[in-house]
Each structure stands twice: as C-alpha cells, then as structure tokens.
Amino acid sequence: MDLILIVDLLGTTAFAISGALVAMKKRLDLFGIFIIAFVTAVGGGTLRDILLKAPITWMRDLNYLWVIGLAALMAILFRSKLGYVRRSLFLFDTIGIALYTVLGVQKGLAYEYPPIICVALGVMSASFGGVIRDLICNEIPLIFHKEIYATACLGGGLTYFLLLQTPLSDNWVLIVSGAVVFLIRLLAVIFHWSLPSVYRKFPNR
C-alpha cells in the first residue's frame, strides 16, 4: 500500500475519533456522533481539494466512509478504555494534524504550487476539520486559541521543504515532517508554550 494512502487513512481515522470524542462529550445522539466524526475527518481535505480543483477523495473512494464509520464506532464502544476524554482528544487530534499537514503539503506539490501555498494547504488540511467540529459543537476552535496549534502545522510544513534539500527519500521526508508537527504540539502542551497575547488587563473603573 502506498505511504500517502496509509497516511491519509490514518489521519482520517484519528480525526474521526477526535470528532466522535467531542460529540460524546457534548452528549450528542448516535447520528450526531457520526456526523461530527465525518466533518472532522474530511472537512480540511475537502476544502483543500476544492481549492485545488482536485477530485474530492472521499466521494470517489467509499472506503473513507467505512473508515470514518468504523473509527466513530470504535470511539463509542471503547470510550471507557480511552481514559480521560481531554487527554484522548488531544492525542488523536495531534496525530490527525501531523498526518494531514504533510498530506496537504504533498498534494500542493503534486499540483505544482509554490512552497508557501503548499504549506498553507497543509495547515488548512490539518485544521479546518477541527474548526468545523468545534463550531458545530459550540466551542471556540482550537486554532483561534493562543495555544500552539496551527503554528505546529506551519513548522511541519516548513520542515518538509527543508528536508527536500537533503538526500532523504520522499517517504522519510513525509515521516519526519509529520513527527515535527506532533513533537511541537506535544512540547507546547507539556511546557505551556503559547503565542503572545494581544490583550492586556485594564484596571476596573
């Protein structure tokens, strides 16, 4: 199986599980859980493909729908095994953004777009599904928090192009760049890294 396809399916699975976890946290019904899992898994990739005027992957290959459905079902059946919901959500969301970032960059390159556009496509692929998920579930999207999120995707995208200048094979460039996204996001949470806040506390009047 092609590594790109493996990355795509793993990212789809991770995002579907993260969507299902958020839906269960909001106590949505069974239909709601599957819908949130679906939009989380395919939202970013669909927007990317529309902008690229590329075939929308999940509409041409129904295996993606099966993967999303099975991932959501796994999240429901094994929710007690996933432990603390917030920790599980962080894990699967981080895996998802790592995989979808490199996938978006790679797809932009396949359509011969310049590096900055490819990186933007990677960030979009990784984050837009989560934005839709959070908006539907009445949450402020993570990408708009000062917490490191899209910045991790940006770091992975830039790493991808730096590694292209090395003797590493394309597969290793893909793997290492995804690992950079995961590592930045993980370290940011562990050490409470965040972007500077533009807000200041004013004295009460």
pLDDT recorded at residue 49 = 95
**Amino acid sitting at position 190:** I
147 strand-pairing partners: 194
d(CA 198, CA 166): 38
One-letter amino acid identity for 17?
I
Is residue 101 over pLDDT 90?
A: yes
AA letter at 87: R
Q: Assign 67 a pLDDT band (cuts: 50, 70, 90).
A: very high
Q: What angle do CA 190, 192, 193 make, to 5 degrees?
A: 115
Instruction: Report d(CA 60, CA 152) in Å as an integer.
Output: 30
Q: What's the whole-model pTM score?
A: 0.86
Q: What is the pLDDT of residues 103-132, one digit of tens each?
A: 999 999 999 999 999 999 999 999 999 999
Contact 17, 25 (CB under 8 A): no
Domain boundaries, the chain: 3-141
Cβ atoms of 70 and 41 within 8 Å: the answer is: no
73 token code pair: 């079902």
Dist CA 169 CA 171 (whole Å): 5
Q: For the chain, give the mean pLDDT.
A: 89
Q: Per residue, what are the HEC states of 172-205? A: HHHHHHHHHHHHHHHHHHHCCCECCCCCCCCCCC
Classify burial at 114, counting beta carbons within 10 Å of its beta carbon; exposed 0-12, middle 13-18, buried 19 or more. exposed
Terminal-residue alpha carbon distance, the chain: 65
Confidence category of residue 90, pLDDT binned at 50, 70, 90: confident
CA nearest to 181, candidates 97, 117, 122: 97
Q: What tokens does 71 get?
A: 């991932």
The per-residue pLDDT for 129 is 93
Neighbours of 145 (CB within 10 A): 12
